[in-house]
């Protein structure tokens, strides 16, 4: 077994446990609140903070890694400036979204009663500040990954997910649904503290702020902005899920969320492990001009995805009802909730391979400093094809139209990415 595959294997094991704890949060919500308006409120409140975490953190970290391998300036100073840029960006966005809490929530989530809105707002105010720490944690994970310390970043995600669900469940009897806001905040603090301690102990870099717009910082933004838009377009899937599901009545937001999270679990486990190791290697090989190794990585990764996710898709589709029942049917999540979720889950299962493959292929575009084309493809797929499919199918398929929109648009995006990569780089 190659050294790279051993690393991927170790990271995969940690990520499996981390993702399982993350998924246990959804199971806990379903057990305690089923598919009710309270479950909808918890799921809804976390949407925007999670959007910032994944989009801003992922975009700036990807750009940071790309510039790190090619910069000619002092790397220590570059790291400090990159950290400062990430910190200022995360704080600025979070403060603006907190100041405009009511307009933001009313913009995305309109069909809520006064009581439900008050619950969403309270949870949002608990969860939103955690996005600052989570964005910084993503950046610190990137700094550790480029130095081969993959296990630390994976352990941090495990700590966050375990603390989030553990605190939420433990405090539910005292604080009710608000416990999930408390869990989100303290889980983020533990994750950020763990990664900061890891960086300090390894003595890799100083995180003392360094302000000023250097050429490297400008390059970060040149690379990051298209990635931010691309990541945003992909995360718009989640926002569209929430907004569209709200039209189908109480409980549909949580039902769509449970179905989506269960189908995304295997692809998340696989893709996080692979991209954690492959992207820094890709960036390095691209800097060296080693196109042959890049082509081999691309083909091998695609074969792994087909071998693992196509069978997983078949199992999920044909055994949807027993799977949903096994995972969720307990507590407040009743047999009626199972039957409500099954058709949505089946439709989401069809997107498993395509979503994972799109994430994988996009990393090759980023390594080649081509972040604009994936953004354009994502916009066409998510905001064009996806929305159109939901609109055309909603009367006939109800909430399942949301899942079919994801599957069809993800397949279209996959075709565009593969064809362009083949023509442009012979991948």
Helices (H), ranges, 176-251 = 178-202, 215-245
Who has greater pLDDT, 296 or 229?
Answer: 296
Who has greater pLDDT, 324 or 363?
Answer: 324
Domain count, the chain: 1
The reported pLDDT for the residue numbered 12 is 66
Cα gap 258→33, rounded to integer Å: 12
Q: Give every CB contact of residue 202 below 8 A, 6+ residues apart in sequence.
A: 144, 147, 149
The reported pLDDT for the residue numbered 239 is 83
Mean pLDDT lowest for which of 8-17, 67-76, 291-300?
8-17
Top mean pLDDT of 165-174, 195-204, 365-374 is at: 165-174
Nearest CA to 86 out of 171, 1, 176, 205 is that of 205
Predicted confidence (pLDDT) per residue in 195-239, tens digit: 999 888 888 778 888 887 788 888 888 878 877 776 677 678 888
Predicted confidence (pLDDT) per residue in 9-24, tens digit: 666 677 778 888 989 9
Q: What is the DSSP string of 334-362?
A: -HHHHHHHHHHHHHHHTTHHHHHHHHHHH
The reported pLDDT for the residue numbered 211 is 84
Mean per-residue pLDDT of the chain: 87
Instruction: Compute the average pLDDT of residues 321-349.
Output: 96
Say yes or no to pLDDT of 156 above 50.
yes
Say yes or no to pLDDT of 1 above 50.
no
* Residue 168 binned pLDDT confidence (cut-offs 50, 70, 90): very high
Tokens of 171: 């405090």
Give the chain's radius of gyration (CA, Å): 21
* Residue 47 binned pLDDT confidence (cut-offs 50, 70, 90): confident
The reported pLDDT for the residue numbered 426 is 85
Say yes or no to pLDDT of 61 above 60.
yes
* Residue 148 binned pLDDT confidence (cut-offs 50, 70, 90): confident
Instruction: Compute the average pLDDT of residues 98-122.
Output: 86
The reported pLDDT for the residue numbered 11 is 65
Say yes or no to pLDDT of 140 above 70.
yes
Give the domain extent around 91. Answer: 3-425
Taking the complete model, does pTM exceed 0.85, yes or no?
Answer: no
Cβ atoms of 267 and 355 closer than 8 Å: yes
Biggest alpha carbon–alpha carbon distance for the chain:
61
Mean pLDDT lowest for which of 63-72, 324-333, 394-403?
63-72
Predicted confidence (pLDDT) per residue in 234-287, tens digit: 678 888 888 889 888 888 999 999 999 999 887 776 666 566 566 666 767 776
Q: Give every CB contact of residue 284 below 8 A, 6+ residues apart in sequence.
A: 69
The reported pLDDT for the residue numbered 342 is 97
The reported pLDDT for the residue numbered 273 is 56
Tokens of 165: 């669900």
CB-side neighbour CA atoms (13 Å) of 176: 7
The reported pLDDT for the residue numbered 77 is 86
Say yes or no to pLDDT of 33 above 80.
yes
């Amino acid at each position: 077994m190659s050294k790279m595959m051993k690393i991927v294997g170790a990271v995969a094991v940690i990520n499996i446990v981390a993702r399982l704890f993350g998924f246990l949060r959804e199971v806990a919500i379903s057990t305690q609140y089923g598919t009710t308006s309270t479950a909808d409120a918890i799921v809804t409140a976390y949407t925007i903070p999670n959007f910032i975490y994944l989009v801003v953190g992922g975009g700036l970290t990807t750009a940071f890694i790309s510039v790190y391998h090619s910069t000619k300036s002092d790397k220590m100073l570059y790291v400090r400036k990159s950290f400062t840029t990430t910190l200022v960006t995360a704080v600025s966005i979070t403060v603006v979204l907190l100041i405009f809490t009511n307009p933001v929530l009313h913009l995305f989530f309109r069909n809520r009663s006064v009581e439900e809105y008050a619950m969403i707002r309270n949870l949002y105010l608990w969860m939103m500040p955690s996005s600052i720490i989570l964005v910084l944690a993503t950046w610190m994970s990137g700094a550790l990954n480029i130095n081969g310390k993959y296990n630390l970043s994976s352990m941090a995600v495990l700590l966050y997910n375990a603390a989030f669900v553990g605190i939420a469940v433990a405090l539910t009897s005292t604080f009710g649904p608000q416990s999930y806001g408390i869990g989100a905040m303290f889980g983020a603090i533990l994750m950020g503290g763990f990664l900061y301690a890891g960086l300090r102990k390894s003595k890799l870099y100083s995180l003392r702020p360094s302000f000023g717009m250097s050429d490297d910082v400008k390059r970060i933004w040149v690379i990051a902005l298209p990635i931010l838009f691309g990541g945003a377009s992909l995360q718009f899937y989640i926002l569209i899920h929430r907004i569209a599901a709200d039209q189908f009545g109480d409980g549909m937001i949580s039902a769509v969320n449970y179905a989506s999270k269960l189908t995304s679990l295997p692809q998340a486990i696989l893709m996080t492990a692979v991209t954690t190791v492959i992207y820094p290697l890709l960036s390095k090989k691209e800097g060296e001009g080693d196109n042959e190794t890049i082509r081999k990585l691309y083909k091998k990764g695609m074969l792994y995805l087909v071998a693992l996710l196509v069978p997983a898709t078949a199992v999920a589709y044909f055994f949807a009802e027993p799977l949903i029942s096994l995972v969720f049917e307990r507590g407040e999540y009743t047999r009626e909730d199972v039957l409500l979720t099954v058709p949505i889950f089946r439709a989401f299962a069809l997107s498993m391979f395509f979503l994972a493959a799109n994430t994988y292929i996009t990393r090759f575009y980023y390594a080649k400093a081509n972040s604009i084309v994936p953004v354009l493809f994502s916009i066409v797929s998510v905001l064009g094809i996806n929305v159109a499919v939901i609109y055309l199918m909603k009367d006939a398929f109800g909430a399942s139209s949301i899942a079919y929109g994801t599957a069809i648009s993800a397949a279209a995006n996959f075709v565009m990415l593969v064809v362009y990569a083949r023509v442009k780089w012979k991948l």
